[in-house]
Structure formats: C-alpha cells, structure tokens
Amino acid sequence: MNWMDYQNKYWKKYLYLESRVIETEHYVTFSHENLKTFSNVYEELLISICSELESVFIEWSGETNNNTNINTYIKKIIFRKEDHFDKEISIFLSDVKVKPFNKLKLFLCELNEYKKIDSKTHLKWWFSYNKIKHDKSNYYKLANLENVLYSLAALFIVENLRIKKLAESDSNADRDCPISPAKLLSGKFNTRYIALGNDLHAEIDI
C-alpha cells in the first residue's frame, strides 16, 4: 500500500463518512447538550464508521483472521505508541472536543505489558458499536451523537497517523498529510504539511 493508494481507498471513504455526519447537523446541533440524542441515522453512521475503522486497522496491522478483534489491533498498532493516538480532536464551529483514545492511553500507561482491554471502560464508543450490532433491542439508545463523534474522531486519528507513516516510507509521497482536508474535525499530528484543499498543501514551519 503506497501513499496515493491509501488516499484513494481509505481517506476518500473517511471524507464520505464525515460528510454524512455533517448533514445530520441540519437537524441536531453538535453541542454538549445534544450528545445523548439517539436516532436510526446515528445507528447507521456508528456502524458504518466503526466498520471502516476495522478495515483501516486490518490494512495497517496486516491481520486478516476473521476472529481478530479490537484487542489484536491495539496490541499490534497502539500499544507502546499510545502518545501518538492520545489526540484531542476539535469539532468545527462547536463547543465539543473529544479524545477517543484517552482512557485507553491511561490504561496502557499503567501496564508494563499489554493486557486485554475492557472496551466498556476504555473505549466506550467501541463498546456501544458492538452492543448496537449484536443487541440492538436493549442498547439502541447508544446510537447517539456522542458515540458517532467519538468513533469518527478515532477514524480521523488512525487515518492521519497511517498516512503520515506511509509518507515516511514512500519516496513518491510529496506530503505527510491527507491529500484533501477534513471539514468537520481537526487535530495536531506533527506533520510537515497541511492540506488546504483542491490538491493544495502548505509546509509548516516547525
């Protein structure tokens, strides 16, 4: 997988999912007061976003076993690199900021070696996704704005870090950031470049 292939196969899908989340603000404003609002649309988005995150983890980790779960991906990708994933993500024109991997970071930092995580405690948005997928009748209220924003932010973080890593090993990559910028989310990834849109980018003076 090279830098441009990843942009076409994965980042483009992120931008599509993000655009669908943005559309929902026509009906529910992104604010702390509305985070527990649940709906069928949020259910569909939560499942779509987390399914795509699984695809991204599979590509990065190289794991193709059908029995692989979130613990395997965290062990191979995030463990001992937790500082890279502990990002605060801002929601554009909103008072909401999220850190989807924050509690996971605190958990991992307490351990000298990797142990199985409890998603209900350390990744509540992932726990919600699985409950909606397997036991919707009892957990349908977890299909809410909060879990959609947290899962989208998690996807945003993982994809930005993957793009940066691919750029380091791809001599044809002319920048270490996405080819097109996100419209809803923003965060700091210590890259040399930032995307401006229309295939334009700017070098950061660091």
Which ranges of 65-135 would DSSP assign to H, the alpha helix? 70-73, 82-85, 102-109, 119-122, 124-134
pLDDT at position 197 over 80? no
Report the domain count for the chain: 1
User: Are the C-beta atoms of 3 and 163 separated by less than 8 Å?
Assistant: yes
The pLDDT assigned to 201 comes to 66
Q: What is the mean pLDDT of residues 2-27?
A: 96
Boundaries of domain holding 16: 3-203
Type and span of the H or E element at 202 = strand 200-203
pTM > 0.75: yes or no = yes
The predicted structure's pLDDT at residue 206: 41
DSSP 148: H
Are 174 and 184 in contact by the 8 Å Cβ rule? The answer is no
Encoded tokens for 74: 């965290």
- Give tens-digit pLDDT for 104-141: 766 665 555 556 677 777 789 999 999 999 999 999 99
pLDDT > 80? residue 176: yes
